[in-house]
Amino acid sequence: METKELERVVIRFTGDSGDGMQLTGGEFAKAAAEAGNDISTFPDFPAEIRAPAGSLFGVSGFQLHFSSSEIYTPGDAPDVLVCMNPAALKTNLKDLVDGGTLIVNSGAFIEANLKKAGYTENPLEGTGLQKYKVHSVDINHLTNTALDGSELTTKEKGRAKNFFALGLVFWMYGRETEAEIRRIYAQFAKKPGYGEANVKVFKAGYHYGETAEVFQTVYKVPAATFAPGLYRNITGNEAIALGLVVGAELAGKKLFYSGYPITPASSILHSLAKYKNFGTLTFQAEDEIAAIGAAIGAAYGGAIAVTASSGPGIALKGEAIGLGVMTELPLVIINVQRGGPSTGLPTKTEQSDLAQAVYGRNGESPIPVIAAKSPGDTFYCAVEAVKIATRYMCPVMLLSDGYIANGSEPWPLPDIAAIPRFDITHRTDPDGYFVYQRDPETLAREWVIPGTPGLEHRIGGIEKDALTGNISYAPENHEKQTHVRQAKIDRIAQEFGELDLYGETSGDVLVIGWGGTFGSLRQATQVLQRQGKKVTHVHLRWLSPLEPKLASVIRNFKHVMCAELNLGQLRQMIRAQYLIDVVGLNKVQGLPFMVREVTAAVDNLLSNVKASS
């Protein structure tokens, strides 16, 4: 048996939505992390909850990139493609690299499934797969054989076939099985019969790779070198939940979260519900409007108040967000973006809610907008959002997306003691109190707990006097309050750190990005710089107000490219702010950028400029 060492591998597990591909990919990701590899994952869910079995639009996938060196993305294309049925092969084969390894569950390639996938003949019997290393394995039959004599029903036995695929890939990449077997037993602790069956099938897959003559090579991906510390694998939504809990603790307050189930934000509520021991209170509301109404009430009562949704839910929350602006209450609003408009692509990623976040309310109602760049970064963005909301007494929008929310990466556990506290004090002295008397540094009004003796006050959606808080329709007062609310948001820029700049401060091309495009843009920039090209990548965390230090850099480049998963929303903002031409790199396919798409766009820009000169 030959052993071959590789620097990095991209594997994609694909199958029907009921084939357990997310579980399979997740388990292999855990094994890769335990082996010390750097990892990046991309789960790809079908858009319909119960898509017909075997249909093309019911295919579910999980892509994992694991490496012995630092990586930023789940990979452009898989080196190994595991297909559990014909539909998975039909929809994913185009992405497999030439010469890549294709593992196919031949037991699922029956006439009915072939017809659902649009095949007129069995692709495993033709010549169309000759450029790949094809391993046709009857996983259905081998799973049933492994469970011969089991008391499970035929349907229950079939559900274990994903563990056969997992065991086979474990063998291919020399992964130890003991930890995975313990995880399987733990996962099915309440149904030990299922646990025992899945372990048997997992072992069968592993030993099949060991004994089948077609598998002659075991591949090894050495451990990556990480900075010393304790790491865990984390998804974006898990990290947001932890960041909110820590943010509330750093503020010395209780956390209240209210939300309504919506893909891909729902798991934030699921995660936060586990932290009751920290005093976190979670509330599943009857709808989106009730969710933000409850959050505003909690903020009025003195809690760290948070609500989350995706684009359609944020639209429903819009009026109440305006109320938060008018009452100047601290509130964190999380938008885990997905493809739109309307229901759009519920399980796919996009960055098309930026204009909604910055402008999507009636009247002049500015709010700060912060965008996370990776799963682990959402933790720090959540802490920052809590800090800004309470320091400046305003709603804060935190933008994530489906790619970040469901993707995972190794995350070094932070030293919480090293994060500066921002303890909150509520005014209790009634002497000289005015509702809209403002802090000279932040322009924030004071946060008073309702019922504090002598500090009774009214806040609401009608314009208030700029000092007393009494209702005012005076034209000059309204204009003054409008300017002050904008000036308060503008002052948040004094909290910003250094620009996330990778490369020189001048050159030929400046690539601007935000949010979940970070990995693709950063890795593409590395590739271009190694080719000797004068390309720099800047990634923006704050989108409202725009990071002011961008002004000192953006004019130092011959060309500026803004890459985003929409039709150019940030590009329009930058053009308006700086009055310069900005080239757009845009994609709205429900998928993240590939590294090669970015490098090709920059090369094309440079080539066109050279040809015209």
Q: And the tokens for 306? A: 């948070």
Please name the amino acid found at residue 311.
Answer: G
CA 312 to chain centre: 17
The whole-number average pLDDT for the span 163-176 is 95
Question: 54: closest CA among 22, 6, 90, 97?
Answer: 90
* pLDDT for the residue 505: 97
Kindly tell me if the per-residue pLDDT of 144 is higher than 90: yes
The whole-number average pLDDT for the span 38-55 is 86
**Residue 452: inside a domain, yes or no?**
no
**Residue 472: inside a domain, yes or no?**
no
* Together in a domain, 180 and 73: yes
How many domains does the chain fold into? 3
The CATH number of the domain holding residue 537 is 3.40.50.920
Q: 188, 220, 252 — which closes off a domain? A: 220
* Together in a domain, 28 and 136: yes
**Residue 392: inside a domain, yes or no?**
yes
The whole-number average pLDDT for the span 510-526 is 98
Q: 382, 398, 418 — which closes off a domain? A: 418
User: What pLDDT, in 10s, does the model give residues 415-427?
Assistant: 999 999 999 999 9
The whole-number average pLDDT for the span 225-254 is 95
**Residue 444: inside a domain, yes or no?**
no
The whole-number average pLDDT for the span 577-605 is 97
Q: Contacts for 546-552 with beta carbons within 8 Å, 24 or more apart?
A: 546/573, 546/574, 546/577, 547/493, 547/496, 547/499, 548/493, 548/496, 549/496, 549/498, 549/499, 550/499, 550/512, 551/578, 552/505
* pLDDT for the residue 498: 95
Are 168 and 136 in contact by the 8 Å Cβ rule? The answer is no
The segment with the largest mean pLDDT, out of 39-48, 119-128, 520-529, is 520-529
Give the whole-number percent of the chain exceeding pLDDT 70: 99
For residue 282, report the phi and psi dihedrals to the nearest 5 degrees.
Answer: -115, 145
Q: Which residues contact 169 (CB under 8 A, 6 or more apart)?
A: 11, 28, 80, 82, 103
**Residue 446: inside a domain, yes or no?**
no
User: What pLDDT, in 10s, does the model give residues 390-409?
Assistant: 999 999 999 999 999 999 99
Residue that the structure tokens 């071959």 belong to? 4
* pLDDT for the residue 17: 86
Q: What range defines the domain where residue 335 resides?
A: 232-418
Answer whether the bond into residue 86 is a cis peptide, omega within 30°: no
Q: And the tokens for 531? A: 């080719």
* pLDDT for the residue 610: 64
* Together in a domain, 161 and 14: yes
Give the whole-number percent of the chain exceeding pLDDT 90: 93
Kindly tell me if the per-residue pLDDT of 10 is higher than 80: yes
User: What pLDDT, in 10s, does the model give residues 279-323?
Assistant: 999 999 999 999 999 999 999 999 999 999 999 999 999 999 999
* pLDDT for the residue 611: 62
* pLDDT for the residue 41: 96
* pLDDT for the residue 5: 94
* Together in a domain, 280 and 409: yes
User: What pLDDT, in 10s, does the model give residues 190-234?
Assistant: 999 999 999 999 999 999 999 987 777 889 999 999 989 999 999
* Together in a domain, 24 and 61: yes
Confidence label for 178 from pLDDT (cuts 50, 70 and 90): very high
Q: 418, 442, 464 — which closes off a domain? A: 418
Are 328 and 442 in contact by the 8 Å Cβ rule? The answer is no
> What's the CA gap between 467 and 503, in Å, rounded?
48
User: What pLDDT, in 10s, does the model give residues 83-100?
Assistant: 999 999 999 999 999 999
**Residue 46: inside a domain, yes or no?**
yes
User: What pLDDT, in 10s, does the model give residues 436-479?
Assistant: 999 999 999 999 999 999 998 778 999 999 999 999 999 999 99
Kindly tell me if the per-residue pLDDT of 341 is higher than 90: yes
Kindly tell me if the per-residue pLDDT of 609 is higher than 70: no
**Residue 179: inside a domain, yes or no?**
yes
* Together in a domain, 375 and 402: yes
* pLDDT for the residue 413: 96
User: What pLDDT, in 10s, does the model give residues 345-355?
Assistant: 999 999 999 99
Kindly tell me if the per-residue pLDDT of 608 is higher than 90: no
Whole-number mean pLDDT of the chain? 95
